[in-house]
Structure 1
């Protein structure tokens, strides 16, 4: 199946041309096939007009915009068709009454997937990660099984989980990609640049997948619901970060497809992927999104991109039918 995502990496103008989409830059006109396009990512300064927006809205195409630093700025997507007042009311009720249950499930899901990623390196003689593996296996469930744990404590557990994950990078990555702490805005070294760019792509992909459900994007459970962002997308993308973003990064770095001397622009206090680096990273992460696995519950093959939407459906089942919410597990492939 042809990839339905298009990336625009240069400055230019995006407009409607007859019954097609045209992108014009200094090199000329390029046409984007509307029939096979579902998402357009604008990674540079791109001019658009309302004529184009009306056209892509009727075609069901979403446009995501990113700023200079590669961070997600916002999306334009077609008028929502999948609106359910009943679900929205119950989603809000679930937030007030059962927020901690969902938040704990998400953090446990993050832990399970981080465990599987690190265990891969443990099996390949990186025994120094064992301390973190044992902590995830023994302590995370103990923390989360506490019925009196509140949302701040759950977020604290999540924060420590990510920090322990980062501390393991030095055991299986080249020294040039090891970092001391997570810095987001702007990223200050090559690893932070890769993580920020990958997380932004995953987040926007999650926005698109939730759009295809009846869920309300603004009502979240792990992250605090906030004005000006789709906080539910932040929730659902978390368990996929180890599987999609970090596995992509580790493979590109360890196979020397991404190199510090070739693929980054460094300024006084920040570090960004250059155009060549972005192209390599985008190709790799899109390949991962579109790769398929056998879903043990559905008894058929699905892509990792579809798995994000399936987690949305699981959440709906919890909200409407009180069925257990267990996010995607790379070990169980459900």
Structure 2
């Protein structure tokens, strides 16, 4: 893809060849120009060696690895150059002193964007979704204004927001894609497979965007900081799920580009996108990342991918300068 993001869908090997990235698979050799490659998504079993990783690090290439089920496994990225002790200290102080306030801001952002997605369908004759739109508009702000909410209560409210959203899928999607229950590991039906795959791609994209800021990826507010994951990327990506992942799913399904009988493999107790389905979804979600809108404050067009990084910058402004932090909003478009 011309935007600096490369997806490798087949098994193979990544190597350095002179000053280029070489991908070798059963069909032959494919060269990725180093100057135009910023991210590589390994969606199948890909072999790499230390020589290649050193080359990728010097070139500033981030590599994301996904497992058989389409789940994000981990990332390799170059040694961080945008490190800031000051920002890290401020992140820790905010976690200790203002975690609940920041977490509630993320939850409100999730609610606002879900509301906008549902309201779009309300305006297109899906009147059944309005009860959820009304609940989000009236009840969620009331919850978030309660200064006595603890993090567990905040997470319960977030869970209820998502559950109410899922309950509206029966009004938006055809019967083959109705979501009866959110099942993640592994997904058990086509809609769960699409959601899990899309969320994994969004999360890894967020990892790449935060890498280009001074933020510490392990210090988060809505999600519990823990070993072995970039939990701040989970925080920031949640707000973008309605705008990026779910809009992509709804469009692909409702235009019948993605079909149950053609694009999924059902095995035992799980369901996965097949190779054709993955390619179609990857193309659609990348187009979504690269699509642009008018940024009211900057007074110029930016992409959704850039908006993720800007949320990182806005969080830094809040941490360091005390400037009000409001995550990405479909309604206000920043």
**TM category, shorter:** over 0.9
Tell me the distance in 1 between the aligned counterparts of 2:152 and 2:172. Answer: 32
Structure 2 residue aligned with 1:93: 93
Any gaps of 5 or more consecutive residues in structure 2?
none
Structure 2 residue aligned with 1:32: 32
Structure 1 residue aligned with 2:306: 306
Q: CA deviation digits over 1:114-150, x for unaligned, max 9?
A: 0000001000110100110110011000111001111
Equivalence map 1:104-119=2 (5 Å): 104-119=104-119
TM-score, normalised on structure 2? 0.99
Is 2:232 aligned against 1:212? Answer: no
Instruction: Give SS of 1:109's match.
Output: helix
Structure 1 residue aligned with 2:133: 133
Q: CA deviation digits over 1:20-40, x for unaligned, max 9?
A: 010111110011111111000
Structure 2 residue aligned with 1:9: 9
Tell me the distance in 2 between the aligned counterparts of 1:87 and 1:247. Answer: 34
Is 2:268 aligned against 1:251? Answer: no
Structure 1 residue aligned with 2:193: 193
Which contiguous aligned blocks of 4+ residues in structure 1 show a shift greater than 3 angstroms?
A: none
Structure 2 residue aligned with 1:61: 61
Structure 2 residue aligned with 1:242: 242
Instruction: Give SS of 1:41's match.
Output: strand
Instruction: Give SS of 1:35's match.
Output: helix
Instruction: Give SS of 2:29's match.
Output: strand
Superposed displacement of residue 90, structure 1 = 1.0
TM-score, normalised on structure 1? 0.99
Structure 1 residue aligned with 2:121: 121
Tell me the distance in 2 between the aligned counterparts of 1:57 and 1:325. Answer: 32
Tell me the distance in 1 between the aligned counterparts of 2:49 and 2:178. Answer: 43
Q: CA RMSD in A?
A: 0.7
Instruction: Give SS of 1:29's match.
Output: strand
Structure 2 residue aligned with 1:264: 264
Tell me the distance in 2 between the aligned counterparts of 1:33 and 1:117. Answer: 38
Structure 1 residue aligned with 2:102: 102
Instruction: Give SS of 1:185's match.
Output: coil
Superposed displacement of residue 2, structure 1 = 3.0
Q: CA deviation digits over 1:52-83, x for unaligned, max 9?
A: 00101000000000000000000000000000
Count of aligned positions = 334
Superposed displacement of residue 321, structure 1 = 1.0
Structure 1 residue aligned with 2:279: 279
Tell me the distance in 2 between the aligned counterparts of 1:247 and 1:291. Answer: 13
Is 2:77 aligned against 1:77? Answer: yes
Q: CA deviation digits over 1:250-302, x for unaligned, max 9?
A: 00000000000000000010000000000100000000000111100001111
Any gaps of 5 or more consecutive residues in structure 1?
none
